[in-house]
Amino acid sequence: MKVLVLFDLSRPVQPNETFTPEVLRDKEDRPTEVDVITCLKKLGHEVDMLAVYEGVSDIVDKIRSFAPDVVFNLCESFFNDRAKEPNIPALLELMRVRYTGANPEALMLSKDKALAKTILVYHHIRVPRFVLSRRTCPLRRLRQFLFPAFVKPLGEESSDGIAKASFARNEEEAIERARFIHERLSCDAMIEEYIEGRELYVSVLGDRRLTVFPPRELFFGRMPESEPRFATFKAKWDDAYRANWGIHNGPAAPFNDGIEKKVSNLARRVYNLLKIQSLGRIDLRLTPAGELVFIEANPNPSLAQEDDFAQSAAAAGMSYESLIQRLLDSAQCS
Ligand SMILES: Nc1ncnc2c1ncn2[C@@H]1O[C@H](COP(=O)(O)OP(=O)(O)O)[C@@H](O)[C@H]1O
Ligand SMILES: [Mg+2]
């Protein structure tokens, strides 16, 4: 197949700038792009790539000139704006080119974390109770809110804006963190009920017939159990910090009877309700009382080989090559 790999840059692309796997690995620190491109070549496909910053016409021109059978879409932003992520597959649909990964609808539903939760609540799925603090009209009081709370940016991903101070013991701390999110990240804030518990990542693959892979878990290692434990930016991305505290991702620890089935049923329901097709990673928390609570759905989860999605697939016996080929084969075109 002729495959065009589209990926986003957070800065303008220089004229004649080329992105070999070596450049992507050593200079740009893009493990997903490196792994996907290397794998596509290994599978014998003809691969070209395009770095996307702001040029719509660059995308259109490239698709016209290269005429790919499939676009492998790894774009998570446009013009450095994550809110524009759904517009990339939307453009590909208008161009009637087949593309891998999430459709615009799933991205729009899941990325609006408040809307996604509202839909799930309607279907009786347990989500953290929440209120919104709008940047243009910040909340001043939190009447009747049961603390502790968890305060996070409404439109960010990858634990951006998530730090120890996201955990708020009282109204004052929650309002202060929301103010910080409005000012520093220029976005709305979600003030949620804090859910204590194990953190589970459930990878789902497929269109109508779904495969739910064995869950993964974020282990908090030697972080004190007396303190709230959650995936801060550092806990997710800072290798030295992770090593220091023994924080790691791995196959989920054993569950009490019946829980694993509930985990996979819940992931499947969320996937369908949020109209995810192709692939998705559903993040849940399992409370000490054995309750499963939805945290977030990721319709285009990271596809780096060492990350949770590919690792879950591997645990179910699906090699990285088979996974990437599966995504190509199921690439959609409306
Ligand atoms: N309501 C909550 N209660 C407890 N922890 C939470 C809650 N919401 C988020 N977290 C923690 O913060 C992390 C990041 O939150 P998430 O909503 O997944 O945002 P992101 O899109 O940045 O990944 C989660 O993986 C979890 O560890
Ligand atoms: Mg998340």
Structure tokens at 214: 């064995």
CATH number of 196-318: 3.30.470.20
Report the atom number in ligand 1 closest to the C-alpha of 161. Answer: 22
pLDDT at 334 over 80: no
- Element at 298 (helix H, strand E): strand 292-298
Q: How far is residue 145's CA from residue 161's CA, in Å, rounded to a whole number?
A: 22
pLDDT at 16 over 90: no
What is the tens place of the pLDDT at every residue in 265-289?
999 999 999 999 999 999 999 999 9
Report the atom number in ligand 1 closest to the C-alpha of 194. Answer: 3
What lies within 8 Å, CB to CB, of 238 at 6+ separation is none
Compute the distance from residue 236 Cα to the ligand 2 centre, in Å. 10
Which residue type does 165 have? A
Compute the distance from residue 157 Cα to the ligand 2 centre, in Å. 6
Compute the distance from residue 298 Cα to the ligand 2 centre, in Å. 7
Protein residue whose Cα sits closest to atom 12 of ligand 1: 231
DSSP letter string, 83-147: GGTTHHHHHHHHTT-EE-S--HHHHHHHHSHHHHHHHHHHTT-----EEEEBTTB-----TTPPS
**CATH architecture of the region 129-193:** 2-Layer Sandwich (3.30)
Q: How far is residue 151's CA from residue 135's CA, in Å, rounded to a whole number?
A: 13
What is the tens place of the pLDDT at every residue in 213-232?
999 999 999 999 899 999 99
What is the tens place of the pLDDT at every residue in 285-299?
999 999 999 999 999
8 Å CB contact between 221 and 245: yes
Structure tokens at 18: 């080329």
DSSP single-letter state for residue 284: E
pLDDT at 155 over 90: no
What is the tens place of the pLDDT at every residue in 35-68?
999 999 999 999 999 999 998 999 999 999 999 9
Q: What pLDDT is recorded for position 333?
A: 66
Protein residue whose Cα sits closest to atom 18 of ligand 1: 296
Average pLDDT in the 175-181 region? 97
Average pLDDT, the chain: 95
Compute the distance from residue 43 Cα to the ligand 2 centre, in Å. 31
Structure tokens at 218: 């974020």
Compute the distance from residue 101 Cα to the ligand 1 centre, in Å. 23
Q: What pLDDT is recorded for position 332?
A: 76
* pTM of the full structure: 0.96
Best residue among 230, 281, 282 to mutate for probing ligand 1's pocket (most ligand atoms within 8 Å of CB) is 230
Q: What pLDDT is recorded for position 173?
A: 97
Per-domain residue ranges of the chain: 2-101, 129-193, 196-318
Best residue among 152, 156, 181, 229 to mutate for probing ligand 1's pocket (most ligand atoms within 8 Å of CB) is 152
Write the burial class of residue 164 (CB in 10 Å: 0-12 exposed, 13-18 middle, 19+ buried): exposed
